[in-house]
Amino acid sequence: MTPRERRLREQAQRHRLILTTAREMAESEGWDYVTTRRLADRIEYSQPVLYQHFKNKDAIVHAVALEGFAELAAALRTAREEAGDPQEALGAVARAYADFAEHGPVLYEAMLTLDPGEGTGEDTTGAAGTPAPLADVLAEIRRAVEPVAAGRDGGLLAEVLWSAWHGLAALTRAGRLRPDPARRRLAALTDALLGPAAQPV
């Protein structure tokens, strides 16, 4: 291994450690607790070393959010591919989204509530400036919607469903909705948007 390769590997390891530690701190204390000073103390790096990787806390949150979108896209893809038919696939994707938001609330908060959208210096954007991992999430929702869209705009329906799923997740987490009928809400939402009564005349 050349000295340059060793430096690059060490940089990648530090980068990974910063993000992993930030997520762990947020899981235990919340994102308000995560500061660059506390993070530097926890990983036993100086703040200047940390700033070599991320210019501020917002950049760290953004990097964590990108990881979250990649993980969510993978979960949705697995749910869709393991389903038996298109209608079942859409329901499975809806449940996978809700489960992700419920079981990873701190990560989900970074993704869709706190993320300031600041770049990390990497080329992570797709079409129209959408971060590539988020574009992958939307693409997975669209792949689940299009087979049952009956000729309607699958991209538009995917955006509407994503908006509704996020709203349900946020309201449930805030205690504004009862947690028990969560799956029935998802099914009712799908029926309302894609069921026979919603088909164009």
Of 177, 52, 186, 65, which Cα lies nearest the Cα of 116?
Answer: 65
pLDDT interval class at 162 (50, 70, 90): very high
Answer whether 98's CB lies under 8 Å from 171's CB: no
Q: What is the pLDDT of residues 9-56, one digit of tens each?
A: 999 999 999 999 999 999 999 999 999 999 999 999 888 989 999 999
For residue 123, the model assigns a pLDDT of 39
For residue 196, the model assigns a pLDDT of 60
Q: What is the pLDDT of residues 124-161, one digit of tens each?
A: 444 456 789 999 999 999 999 999 998 889 999 999 99
Q: What is the mean pLDDT of residues 186-191?
A: 87
What is the spatial distance between Cα 101 and Cα 182, in angstroms, rounded to a whole number? 12
For residue 128, the model assigns a pLDDT of 52
pTM, two decimal places: 0.86
User: In Å, how far are 33, 55, 98, 133, 157 from 164, measured between CA atoms?
Assistant: 30, 34, 11, 20, 10
Cβ within 8 Å of residue 149, ≥6 positions away = 157, 194
